[in-house]
Amino acid sequence: MGKHFAAIVVLLVAVGWLFQQGSSTYRSVHNDLRQTIADLSQVDAALKADVLTSRGASIGHFDALNASMNATFIHFDQLSSLSRWITGPDGESIHQLLLETRDVVQLREQSLERFKSELALYRNSLHYVTHLISQLAPTVGTDTVVQLSALSNMVLTLDSSPESYRRADVSAVLDKLQQAAKGSPSKSRITVLVKHVRLLVDTLPGINQSIGRLVAPDLSQQLRRLQSAYALVSDRTHRYSELSRFAILAIAVVLLGYLTVVFRRSRRGVIEIQSANLRLKEEIANRRRSDSMMANQNMVLTKLVRGDALEHVLASLCLGVETLIEDSMGSVSLASDDGRSLVNGIGPSLPPDYAAAMQGLLVAEGSGSCGTAACRMEPVYVEDIAVDPLWADFLDLAREHNIHACWAIPLISHSGALFGTIAVSLRHPAAPTDSDKRILQSASSLASLAIERRRAEQDLFEEKERAEVTLHSIGDGVVTTDRDGTVEYMNPVAEALTGLSLDKARGRNLSQVLVLRDEVSGEDVSLPVENCIRDEIISSLSGNTLLIGRDGQEFYIEQSVSPIRHRDGSIGGAVAVFSDISESRALTKKIAFQASHDSLTGLVNRREFEDRLDKAIVSARSGLSTHALCYLDLDNFKIVNDSCGHAAGDALLKELAQKLGQRVYDHNVLGRLGGDEFGVLMLDCAIAKANIFAEDLLTAVREFRFSYNSSIFEVGVSIGLIEIAEGTVDRLELMALADVACYAAKDAGRNRIHLHQQEDDELKPRLQEITWASQIDRCIKENRFKLYCQKIRPAFNDDREHIHYEVLLRMVNDDGTLVLPEAFIPASERYGVMSHADRWVISATFAEIARLDAAGVGEDLGFGLSINLSGNSLSDDGLLTFVRSELARHAISPERVCFEITETAAITHLELATDIIRELRRIGCQFALDDFGSGLSSFSYLKQLPVDYLKIDGSFVLEMINSDVDAAMVSAINEVGHAMGIATVAESVEDATTLDRLRGIGVDLVQGYHIERPFPLDQLKQRVGDGGSAPLGDPLDRDVALASMSPSATVAEPSSSANVQSSTPDDKSHR
């Protein structure tokens, strides 16, 4: 029913409205028609007057007329809708009259708009033409000025009386003006003027046509017809007015009831609208808060990127939070280094006393909102401090500063570490809304980001500082460049080497800063920066590169160039690192020189001489050249050495080497092969010419006089000469033949030359030695060496726990017989192959010690073995490395090993011997100095050799019973050894009487046939295990090395295999 009632009410309202509208319309029709006719008459009259007589009037006047016309159209629409069924006095249709009148007015309006447009264009062109004429007049000639003046008058005439113009006259003036402008600088501007004048003239016909259209239609007659037609409207209006009053009264009654119902329903709608309005306001507030939050974040991020201090960034963040949460005070507290407390509080709005009191807040449960949030690592919202137990310890402080609520969120890094907390303190108790929580959460993320970024920047800065300090401290030069090779950075080392400071080098190309040159070719060297960047590889330069400083100083450098990569992996430049290896290069050259030259004389040493000899043999075999070799051995050198000492002998060798060097020229090679032995390699030299050269050398030595301590000495030389030709076999045979020829010269009377011939009976004994020397390597390969050993024990007892053994060497012949050492050792020493046998002995002896240890024999008894080293081995650069590797390979204790070296070999190679002794003792081995006393200057050198044992030469021990001098020598050597803390060993103890005498002197250890005869080393396990003595054993013994030592004794120095043992009971076959 409500719907029907509403429909009825609406219908009544509509009917009443229609009656009212009809009444109102008919009342106003007459007035509107009368006013419309009057307005149209006035507009028509004004329009005609302006169009016909006022062309220059402003366009704004026409706009007013046009507005009046538009106003009449409203009346036309209203009148037309009401007059569709109304007729005039003559029965004509008022509606039709209105439509016809409106058409006339619309046509008038369209013509007026067209007229306005054309007139505006005309007046703008007229103004522009006038402006151009005024500008051109001062810049052209007299003729042009005349034409411009005429044109100006015509233009002005056109403006005032357009109907009086003559188009031909204007065109003539324009033609003359263009003619006069030819060649004029203002020609272009005159052309523009002519163009606009023609446009102005072309516009006038359109304007006249528009004027004709505006004045043609006659509105007066049409308006009079309308006035008569609407005379009847006034009467009809009165009747409609009465009817509308009745309809309105009825409608008012109905509406009153309807409004009562609507009012009640509208109240509920108002309430709903108010609720929606509140939600909308809240939405707007949230949006504004989000915008403020975003602005605050942008401000904080801007400061963060700009590099502001962390305190300022966090303070801005706190202020931003305060603007988003009303009546709040923001603060940030940072965790201490140990994470146990909150320090460095930042709260720009907090009371200073309150902020100071909260400094150092413990990270613990019950430590306020911040301390608890940091402890729990989760947000803590205290809505009322007065009743919350978390603030029990700080309640008075909070009340004093009027703080009643506190919300805190921990600041946590990406790795989960605690940075601190961010909190909001309020002046009133309050619970945080969801919006407040989002604000705090966003602020905590932003604060964590700021702290983490600043700490990362600090770490990066410290890393950069460390890198710069490192670059400033390292000994290498460092230069960085961009992709184009332009220098960006140099460390101080690079500045010192290049002679340029960083300020002067920065911006230059790297090739201008690092001027490099090849040491060998002398050509400039370019750094491979382009290759490094293009191929993304590390490039380097060899140690043959020289860096030329600004002062011309040269440095040997080793350099590498590496690409510098950006974070995305792209190449951003290169870094060149170069080391000054000048010192090491000089040291390398020195070492290389020392390795290839004799330290005493400066001549090439035996190894270098043999290398060059090998090359000469290769070239001779090709048949392209022939060479010659001279082998020189000084005569009477021992006299100088024995009478004046080794220092005098050294001085003689140095002077003589210098004198010989003056005779060896061109590409020939002079070298020192051994103690007093020299060699000369004559390249591309026939044997006849070589013989002449050898004679010259012989003469030089004969004429040489050596003065030392007021004494003058003469020495001679025996020379062996041999041809190096296509049939030469190898270096070993060649050296042996030259050596044999040299000894043949000595046997022939010395101080002469012996030329080697194919059939030379004098050399056959010597050739036999060569045959034995050549067997050394073959015996090693075929394992045809055999080791024997002989006991060394304390002089006063035969304690099994303090005995040791010396190992002796045998060569097994092809037929299985044992070869005497004197048959192959002297030649092996002479031809430099004895060091190979030494290595074999070391390896075999270490293996035997390991076998004894594995069987549980020897180590528990405290005995060991010792190895003699030859003079060749002292010159073996790889000896120490070999000993270390063998000790490791066999896993034996170095304390079980003792090395022996003869006094003669030690003094001859004093520096090398000292270094080897010190190094082997450092790793735990012991050393013995063998055959001590055979030289006259032994005591002066003994203190330079850090040995553990002194083995008294057997020649003194053999004769000490029959010779007081020998007995005194034994006693003296024993006393010197004991004074220096060195244990003494007496060799060649052949009988009990000698043993008793040695005990009386106080010698520590004894060795000889009376103690025990040698026996095979592989029987040592049985002999030591049984505790019995060895049988008589083999009389053929040679001290090759392996003396076992007691734990209390120190290692004896190795004996030289180069020196055949003197005839002692320890080796009767050698006597």
Map out the domains of the chain with their CATH numbers: 2-230 (no CATH), 307-456 (3.30.450.40), 473-580 (3.30.450.20), 597-759 (3.30.70.270), 783-1070 (3.20.20.450)
Q: pLDDT-derived band of residue 695, with 50, 70 and 90 as boundaries?
A: very high
More confident residue, 111 or 974: 974
Total residue length of the chain: 1071
**500 alpha carbon, distance to own chain's centre:** 24
Least confident of 562-566, 774-778, 794-798, 1048-1052: 1048-1052
Quick one: average pLDDT of 446-475? Answer: 75
Model pLDDT for residues 296-307, shown as the tens digit of each residue: 777 777 776 777
CB 595 within 8 A of CB 688: no
| Amino acid identity at 474 | I
Backbone dihedral region for residue 709 (phi beyond 0: left; psi -120 to 50: alpha; all else: beta): left
The H-or-E segment that residue 609 falls in is helix 606-621
Burial annotation 709-743 (CB, 10 A radius, 16+ → b, else e): eeeebebbbbbbbbbbeeebeebbbbbbbbbbbbb
- Cα dist from 485 to 369, 497, 531, 550, 568, whole Å: 58, 19, 11, 20, 21
CA distance 213 to 826: 148
| Mean pLDDT of the region 982-1009 | 94
Percent of the chain with pLDDT over 90: 26
- Candidate ranges 75-79, 378-382, 932-936; pick with highest mean pLDDT: 378-382
Q: Which of 18-22, 163-167, 706-710, 887-891 has the lowest mean pLDDT?
A: 163-167
Q: Residue 883 — very low, low, confident or very high, per pLDDT cuts 50/70/90? A: very high
Q: How far apart are CA 1032 and CA 298, in angstroms?
A: 105
At residue 276 the predicted structure's pLDDT band, cuts being 50, 70 and 90, is confident
Per-residue pLDDT reduced to its tens digit, 100-111? 777 777 777 777
Per residue in 341-358, pLDDT tens?
Answer: 998 888 888 998 888 888
Q: Facing residues of 285 across strands?
A: none
Collapse the DSSP code of 330 into the 3-class scheme (helix H, G, I; strand E, B; otherwise coil) and give the result: strand
Residue 390: both structure tokens together: 């978390």
Place of tokens 């080293």: 869
pLDDT surpassing 70 at residue 57: no
Question: Model confidence at 547, in pLDDT bands (50, 70, 90)?
Answer: confident
Average confidence (pLDDT) over 956-972: 93
The arithmetic mean of pLDDT across residues 769-775, rounded, is 71
Pick the residue with more confidence: 461 or 687?
687
With the CA atoms of 594, 599, 603 and 607 taken in that order, what torsion angle do they form, in degrees rounded to the nearest 10? Answer: -60
pLDDT bin (cut points 50, 70, 90) of residue 1036 is very low
Whole-model pTM: value is 0.39
| pLDDT of res. 1043 | 32
Q: What is the mean pLDDT of residues 144-148?
A: 72
> What is the Cα–Cα distance from 396 to 986, expressed in whole angstroms?
100
- pLDDT, residue 1006, reads 95
CA 522 to chain centre: 32
Average pLDDT for 244-270:
73
Q: What phi and psi, each to the nearest 5 degrees, are found at residue 86?
A: -100, 140
pLDDT of 29 higher than 70? no
Distance CA 13, CA 741 (A): 156
The most confident of 70-84, 219-233, 867-881, by mean pLDDT: 867-881
Q: What are the tens digits of pLDDT across the range 189-199? A: 778 878 777 77
d(CA 499, CA 516): 13
In the predicted structure, residue 229 carries a pLDDT above the cut 70: no
The residue with greater pLDDT, 595 or 19, is 595
What is the percentage of the chain residues whose pLDDT exceeds 70? 77
Token digits for 558? 């080793």
pLDDT digits (tens, 9 = 90+) for 813-838: 888 888 877 777 777 777 778 888 99
Buried b (16+ CB within 10 A) or exposed e, 132-154: bbeebeeebeeebbebbebbbeb
Work out the average pLDDT over 495-521. Answer: 85
pLDDT of 754 > 80? The answer is yes
Q: Name the phi and psi angles at 798, rounded to 5.
A: -120, 50
Q: In what order do the strands lie in the sheet with 328-335?
A: 361-362, 341-346, 328-335, 418-426, 405-412, 380-382
State how far the Cα of 781 lies from the Cα of 947, in Å rounded to an integer: 33
Give the range among 556-565, 715-724, 993-1002 with minimum mean pLDDT: 556-565
What pLDDT was estimated at residue 1045?
A: 31
Q: According to the 3-state scheme, what is the secondary structure of 75-123? A: HHHHHHHHCCCCECCCCCEHHHHHHHHHHHHHHHHHHHHHHHHHHHHHH
